[in-house]
Structure 1
Amino acid sequence: MSQFSVLIVEDDPQASYTLEQSVNQHVGFRVIAAAESVVEARMQLAQQPDLVFLDITLPDGDGMQLLREMRQQDFAGAVIMTTAERDSSTVAQAIQFGVLDYLVKPLRLSRVHQALDDVVAFKETLQESNQVDQLQIDDLMRKGKAQNKVRSTPKGIDATTLARMVEHIKYCPQPFSAQEVGDALALSRITARRYLEYLEEQGTVAMSLNYNTGGRPKQLYHTV
């Protein structure tokens, strides 16, 4: 499978680095550039990336205005908003300008990968043939998602493994890391973190950062 090129527009270096690492873990995508401002983003857009992760709050302008410019200039790539903005008018405006997804910070690895999977599915559906039927259109427009909830857990989350983890963290010392949980359950650190991120989204655990590591901050979790 050929890789999709990605531009990250994010003024927080740590957030940009974390997002870049998340994207590059997905086999179908490769980050080709990162921009910390509107001016820099305009220059990097000349590379015509297949996908842009776009923050709204930037030091020299507004990401939504940049998105408007991109559409006026017929930018052909997909756009995913990454922002702390949650008000309905902002979300509505983003949808109006054709974003493929809207991710609320702090970003979760599992949610980023879900968004990337959706980009792949979207592109593949449109490239398979010159015409699409109504069911395919509904799926592209996400109207069919509510009718397709067969799994009790999302893709990538096994119900049995999840139950084992929930039972384990009830009794493990607080706080705990993904590595510690992974070692106890014979899972990789990345897999354990994906499950913990899902449990955080469900309100079962909460995450905090430990900066007393002498290096990059460490993610620690505790039960809620």
Structure 2
Amino acid sequence: MSQYSVLIVEDDSQASYTLEQTINQHPLFRVVAAAESVTEAQQLLSLQPDLVFLDISLPDGSGMTFLREIRQLDLNTAVIITTAERDSATVAQAIQFGVNDYLVKPLRLSRVHQALDDLADFRSQLGSASQVDQLQIDELMRKNRSQEKQRSTPKGIDANTLQRLIDDIQQRRAPFSAQEIGDQLELSRITARRYLEYLEQQGMVRMTLDYNTGGRPKQLYHLTPSN
């Protein structure tokens, strides 16, 4: 299966690099270019990317300007917003212009992969048949959540691996990193972090940043008091 091409529009070079690494871990997506401004992004539209990860706050204007241009050009390009902006008016405007997802910074690796999985499923379902019935439309429009409700864990989270991880961290009293968990359970750091982010969403662990590293802050996880 061919990969979907991705353009990143992000003025923070470190955030852009981290996002690129995360996207390229997904087997169906590959970053082909990155832009740091609206002007640069407009020039890269000639690549006709399948997907754009778009920040809203850019040095020469709003990412919404670029989003409107994509829609006016009638490109078959999906757009996922990545931003720290959470006000309802901005979210409503993004939805109005047909974004495929809206991710709030700081980005979670698991949430980025969920957005990619959702888009891949969306494109696959639309491309596999010339017509779709009402149930399929409801699923595509995210109005039918029955399948998700039947899962004990979300896509990408294996129940057995999750239980092994929970058993391990419940024995720990000191803060721990994704690398430490990965080494213990023979998982990659990225995979361990995805599971820890899921447990953070469930309220079982909380994440803090350790700035006493002499370099980039280190993410440390703690069991919540009730656990």
TM above 0.5, one fold?
yes
1:170 aligns to what?
170
State the distance in 1 between where 2:40 and 2:175 align.
40
Residue 29 (structure 1) shift: 0.7
Residue 63 (structure 1) shift: 0.9
Q: 198-207 or 176-185, which moves further after superposition? A: 198-207
State the distance in 2 between where 1:76 and 1:68 align.
13
Secondary structure (helix, strand or coil) at the match of 2:31 reads: strand
2:3 aligns to what?
3
State the distance in 1 between where 2:40 and 2:202 align.
37
2:102 aligns to what?
102
Task: Give the aligned residue type for 1:111.
Answer: R
TM-score by length of 1: 0.91
Q: 65-74 or 199-208, which moves further after superposition? A: 199-208
Q: Deviations over 1:110-162 (max 9, x none)?
A: 11111111111111112112211111111111111256410122112233432
Task: Give the aligned residue type for 1:51.
Answer: L
Distance 1:172 1:147, change over 3 A: closer
Query: Aligned pair 1:38/2:38, yes or no?
Result: yes
Task: Give the aligned residue type for 1:124.
Answer: S
1:149 aligns to what?
149
Query: Aligned pair 1:112/2:81, yes or no?
Result: no
1:159 aligns to what?
159
Secondary structure (helix, strand or coil) at the match of 1:40 reads: helix
Residue 27 (structure 1) shift: 0.6
Secondary structure (helix, strand or coil) at the match of 2:150 reads: coil
Q: Which runs of 5+ in 2 are unaligned?
A: none
**Aligned 1:1-224 pairs, distance under 5 A:** 1-145=1-145, 148-210=148-210, 213=213, 217-224=217-224
Task: Give the aligned residue type for 2:84.
Answer: A
Task: Give the aligned residue type for 1:86.
Answer: R
TM-score by length of 2: 0.90
Task: Give the aligned residue type for 2:4.
Answer: F
Task: Give the aligned residue type for 2:139.
Answer: D
Q: 206-215 or 182-191, which moves further after superposition? A: 206-215
Give the superposed CA RMSD.
1.9
Residue 197 (structure 1) shift: 1.2
Q: Which runs of 5+ in 1 are unaligned?
A: none
State the distance in 2 between where 1:150 and 1:66 align.
39
Secondary structure (helix, strand or coil) at the match of 1:156 reads: coil
State the distance in 2 between where 1:7 and 1:23 align.
11
Percent same amino acid among aligned pairs?
72
State the distance in 2 between where 1:146 and 1:61 align.
41
State the distance in 2 between where 1:90 and 1:57 align.
12
